[in-house]
Amino acid sequence: MAQIPRESVREILHAHLAGKGLRKTSQRDAIIEAAFGTNEHYTAEELLVMARGIDRSVSRATVYRTLPILVESGLLRELDLGGDTKIYDPNFLEHPTHNHLVCVDCKKIIEFEDPNMELLENCISRRLGFSPTNKRLTIEARCDEFQQRGTCKKGNPEAAKA
C-alpha cells in the first residue's frame, strides 16, 4: 500500500495541535515519522521502540498522549482486536474502506479491500433502515498453514526465512 507523505501528516497534525492549543515538539515529530513510516500495524509499545530509534528522547508518556491525538485528528485508526492491547493502523488515510483479517493463531493482521464488501455493507444498512457513518469489518480466522505445520510465514518472520 502507498504511504501518505509524512510532510502532509505533519501538516495535518500540526494544524490539529494548534487548534487544541498544543505545541509541536521534536518528540511528536519522531512519533509521527515512526507511526507513518510503516505500513504495518503496531501497539503503543512497538511505536515507542520505533520512535526511540529516531529520537532517543521520546518518552513513553509522550507516545501515550500523542496516540489519542493522532486518532482524534483522523490520521490514525485505533483497532480493538480483543485482548488488552490496542492496535494502530497507519494505512487508514490511503485506504479508508479496507478491512482486516486476523489470524487467531499467529496474530498476523492482513488488510483487504473488496468493492463487494462495501456494497453488501451498504445494502444491509439501508435494508435495516440505517445510513452508514462508519464501517469496520474484522474477520478472525485460522490460517491453513499454521493449522497444518504449527507455524506460518505470515506471522513468524523467522519461519519466512526457512
User: Which pLDDT tens digit goes with each residue over 9-42?
Assistant: 778 888 888 888 888 899 999 999 999 888 888 9
Q: Quick one: which of 77, 90, 79, 81 has its CA closest to 39?
A: 90
Asked if 116 and 151 sit in the same domain, the reply is yes
Mean pLDDT of all residues in 46-64: 96
Residue bearing the bigger pLDDT, 139 or 55: 55
Q: Of 76-85, 105-114, 119-128, 134-143, where does the model show the most confidence?
A: 119-128
C-alpha cell, 101: 483479517
Which three-class secondary structure state does DSSP give residue 91? coil
What is the rounded average pLDDT for all residues in the chain? 82
Question: Is pLDDT above 70 for 159?
Answer: no
Residue 157 confidence (pLDDT): 46
Asked if 23 and 78 sit in the same domain, the reply is yes
Asked if 14 and 82 sit in the same domain, the reply is yes
Domain that holds residue 11: 6-89
Asked if 84 and 26 sit in the same domain, the reply is yes
Q: Number of folded domains in the chain?
A: 2
Residue 109 confidence (pLDDT): 82
Asked if 15 and 37 sit in the same domain, the reply is yes
Asked if 84 and 148 sit in the same domain, the reply is no
Asked if 52 and 114 sit in the same domain, the reply is no
pTM of the model: 0.71
- Domain end residue (candidates: 65, 89, 113): 89
Burial of 47 (0-12, 13-18, 19+ CB in 10 A): buried
In a domain, 33, yes or no: yes
Rounded Cα distance, 158 and 162, in Å:
7
In a domain, 25, yes or no: yes
Question: Is pLDDT above 90 for 99?
Answer: no
Mean pLDDT of all residues in 72-97: 80
